[in-house]
Amino acid sequence: MEIWKWVFVGVLWYAGFVLSTGAVELGRSQHTERISGSAGDVLEDDPVGRLKVFVYELPRKYNKKILQKDPRCLTHMFAAEIFMHRFLLSSPVRTLNPDEADWFYTPVYTTCDLTTNGLPLPFKSPRMMRSAIQLISSNWPYWNRTEGADHFFVVPHDFGACFHYQEEKAIERGILPLLQRATLVQTFGQRNHVCLKDGSITVPPYAPPQKMQTHLIPEKTPRSIFVYFRGLFYDVGNDPEGGYYARGARAAVWENFKDNPLFDISTEHPATYYEDMQRAVFCLCPLGWAPWSPRLVEAVIFGCIPVIIADDIVLPFADAIPWEEIGVYVDEEDVPNLDTILTSIPPEVILRKQRLLANPSMKQAMLFPQPAQPGDAFHQVLNGLARKLPHDRSVYLRPSEKILNWTAGPVGDLKPW
């Protein structure tokens, strides 16, 4: 390897040691850098008093009974739907009077259908969601007056309300027709994509806050790893030909850098995974089946500069988190040039990104903690809902007016759930 690369890594190692940019415990007192209008101001926005949310009381089969059957749902990356429900039940924005509500929330755990290996399958989700909407439209008058335009749903699947983990099939399905007027809170976000509805609120995938907290290492630990990644490069089971998964971006990472000493990459997921991220300067966050992954959350929490490889991705809370300031964007087609791109970033730019990543409020916005804390992901969702108020009067339908087609979609979706 060229001598200048060793010099570069040495400079970063020293800078990481001096500035102590290792993992920082949430709430720990320290100097942090603010960006006006993004990293500071918006994160301190308070939705309480600006909106009221009515939570539908559904039979347990739509939520609590499903979770009781498989508690693993509490820890997978789609668990935001569960914790959002719990949060709203005790939130000061909740109202028990639906006539004064600005928003209506239907707690349906559509991702809590797990395989033996713990992977969520979305195939029953459309029927389950349709059943829940039929229930609320039959027992309350609020859905029918807008056909869901003042309702929001948490749909944290790979491709949101398209309810499929493979992009080609998700595009073919499209967003569930009954959700076309509702606001969708989802992890999926990609510009100009049929599975991203205008007005959707993009949120981070769920990453267990307590688990990450237990893996913090001393904050003065130097960042001696230049580029870090653990995960699949090929999904042989679902993409045997190897050209579709991650649109080839992960395969390109492996083929180009598996023997590069600057890159610590592997399919193995070690027990020291979280600790290793805290020792790394850059953490690769490539797309998988969907553009996003929990690595994005983990990188921010552990102060590792996220290298975002997912063309046209819509990142969570983009009005609150200055992604361009804290991360590095790399086009999928430029993956073979990753080493040149990353080693060309001036050390002072890297140090600035690390200082911004050390901002506790930015880390907090990526988490769904129990109990909720000021500025966390729950509050960012509420802020997003509050900013969409007041509802335009045009969302209210005339008596007997209908816009949505209840019989649209694949035949299988119409079966009872």
- Nearest CA to 316 among 263, 370, 362? 362
pLDDT for 155 equals 97
Q: Is 40 left (phi over 0), alpha (psi -120 to 50) or beta?
A: alpha
Quote the CA–CA distance of 1 and 40 in Å, as a whole number. 41
Residue type, 114: L
| Under 8 Å between Cβ of 152 and 200 | no
pLDDT for 287 equals 95
pLDDT for 44 equals 66
Angle between helices 347-357 and 3-19 (to 10 degrees): 30
pLDDT for 165 equals 87
Quote the CA–CA distance of 106 and 120 in Å, as a whole number. 20
pLDDT digits 0-9 by tens, 278-297 = 999 999 999 998 999 899 99
| Under 8 Å between Cβ of 366 and 205 | no
Residue type, 398: R
Residue type, 279: R
Rounded to 5 degrees, φ, ψ at 141 are -90, -5
Give the pair of three-digit tokens for residue 381.
């969702």
pLDDT for 320 equals 81
114: which DSSP letter? B
Residues of the chain with pLDDT under 70: 1-44
pLDDT for 201 equals 97
Give the pair of three-digit tokens for residue 301.
């929490």
Q: Is 247 left (phi over 0), alpha (psi -120 to 50) or beta?
A: left
Instruction: Assign 168 to helix, strand or coil.
Output: helix
Look-up of token digits 């007041």: 390
Show Cβ contacts of residue 288 under 8 Å, excluding neighbours closer than 6 positions: 231, 232, 235, 245, 246, 250
Domains and CATH numbers, the chain: 53-206+375-389 (no CATH), 209-366 (3.40.50)
pLDDT for 118 equals 81
CA 303 vs CA 57, 83, 118, 151, 352: distances in Å: 40, 25, 28, 36, 12
Residue type, 162: C
